[in-house]
Structure 1
Amino acid sequence: MFRTGRVAVTALCALGLAAGCSSDDGEKPDTSNISITTMRGALLQAADVGPTWRAPEESADPDQLVSICGGTTAAPEVPPGGQVVASPLVDEGDKGAQTLEQIALVYADKASADAAMTGLKAIADQCQGNLSVAAVENDERNEPAYTETVQQQPLKQDNWAGFTVIRHKKYEASHPGSADTAVTVIQRTNVVLVDAYAIYQLNNASTGSQFDADWQKLVGTVVQRVG
């Protein structure tokens, strides 16, 4: 069985802003640097997403991002030179769980952010499209065997541009369940935003109908808050 603590799936009810793709209205993009204070205020807090969301009890490693490619691949280290602002959130209950990792990497200039973005894109370009992972059971982790599909797609919202890696994990038949993850990495001038939304479902092997809309809304809301 899954060892995920309490698990439950709830709607993303509190976000009032739609994601929306950027449109070319003829205006020149804003090329000014974004401050760390602005990014700290833009990242979503639990109350922004829904009443059952909260900050996780355990703190993440501040020197690591989230796994981009899934499977057994390690999470990449934070590209050097930037200041890190993070706001992780979880929603757990009886039928599933949701997690949201928001990490803003704020650099002194665009050139440094470009280098960080290039490194993260290189990692994504090496992701395998189909993975098969054996079951793991130990003191730290208990997870059934699963297969996972991984796809990368470009993403542009307002003056931000980058990519999203979409992963769908399906567990073996004796432990029915699934996990859908969207890892978005986008940049605007001196900031690289890493946003990872995941939804885990027990006894359900299909992708949730609102998954695509939800991850886009979560990313889009942060982007619009920056202005």
Structure 2
Amino acid sequence: MFATPRAAARAAARAAGIAVTALCALAVTAACSDSGDDGEQPGRGLITATTMRGALLQASEVGPTWKAPEESADPNQLMSICGGTTTPPTVPPGGQVVAAPLVDEGEKGAQTLEQIALVYGNKSGADAALAGLRGVADGCRKSLSVPAVKTSDRNEPAYTETVEVQPLDEGGWTGFVVIRHKKYEAGHPGTADTAVVVVQTSNVVLVDAYALYQLDNASTGPGFDQDWKKLVGTVVQRVG
């Protein structure tokens, strides 16, 4: 999600003493049910776009301060996987895009959740999409430094960012997660933590990105790891 430049700019520009509002507790956690070796859902066949649309989280389910963003994202582009100034990948061809982006940008915090389901006509289309996105992740630099940027629509201090790619197997969905930790320069203390999850089952690839921004805090946001796992796990379990 995570992480849009506008959201990062707004978070970095907030006054000192910002505290991130914790996510509301979700009642459902990730399930680890068995699935067939080929990734198909036993006894159900292909997953529809309607199913995925109903599985993605709505603002009211995450917390009272969450809402849909005012600006519409490019439907042909995914969120950044590698972070920094790298170009976000385009949507792999052949699939139907189902998206539900959410933001929480109140005075006490800044969080984003970008949810994109890529629904293909068969498993091979989803296989190819996952492989292509994994190729992007494999090319990410493990550490990078970005100078300060100040334009008419973006104001972000200089920062360093670490990137780690980890395999992920969640409730029969397999793929990877890219964990990014951004630390701003000493004159503008703050962090931005992002988890970009790319997982597949059957004919669907789920791309989920949760980002959490903080000022005056040099460590990872409290509960960050648990929150992104819970958000993704809830969607995965809803699909079955």
5+ residue gaps in structure 1? none
Structure 1 window deviating more from structure 2 (7-16 vs 59-68): it is: 7-16
TM-score (norm 1): 0.94
Query: Do the aligned residues in 2 keep the contact of 1:166 with 1:181 (CA within 8 Å)?
Result: yes
5+ residue gaps in structure 2? 1-7
Structure-to-structure mapping, 1:203-214, within 5 angstroms = 203-214=216-227
- Deviation at 1:9? 2.2
C-alpha change, 1:220 and 1:75, in structure 2 (3 Å) is same
C-alpha change, 1:226 and 1:24, in structure 2 (3 Å) is closer
Residue from 115, 124, 139 that aligns with 1:111: 124
Residue from 5, 13, 17 that aligns with 2:28: 17
C-alpha change, 1:24 and 1:191, in structure 2 (3 Å) is closer
Cα RMSD (Å): 2.1
Partner Cα separation in structure 1 for residue 52 and residue 36 of structure 2 = 26
Residue from 110, 116, 138 that aligns with 1:97: 110
Residue from 41, 44, 49 that aligns with 2:62: 49
**Number of residue pairs aligned between Structure 1 and Structure 2:** 226
Query: Do the aligned residues in 1 keep the contact of 2:179 with 2:194 (CA within 8 Å)?
Result: yes
Query: What secondary structure does 2:121 align onto?
Result: coil
- Deviation at 1:203? 1.2
C-alpha change, 1:43 and 1:25, in structure 2 (3 Å) is closer
Structure 1 window deviating more from structure 2 (89-98 vs 129-138): it is: 89-98
Partner Cα separation in structure 1 for residue 53 and residue 141 of structure 2 = 33
- Deviation at 1:157? 1.1
Identity fraction in percent: 70
- Deviation at 1:2? 4.7
Query: What secondary structure does 1:150 align onto?
Result: strand
Query: What secondary structure does 1:155 align onto?
Result: strand
Query: Do the aligned residues in 2 keep the contact of 1:29 with 1:159 (CA within 8 Å)?
Result: no
C-alpha change, 1:225 and 1:23, in structure 2 (3 Å) is closer
Report the equivalent of 2:159.
146
C-alpha change, 1:67 and 1:18, in structure 2 (3 Å) is same
Of structures 1 and 2, the one scoring higher in RCO (CA 8 A, sep 6+) is 2
Read off the aligned partner of 2:22 and give its amino acid letter.
Answer: A
- Deviation at 1:94? 2.3
Report the equivalent of 2:4.
none
TM-score (norm 2): 0.89
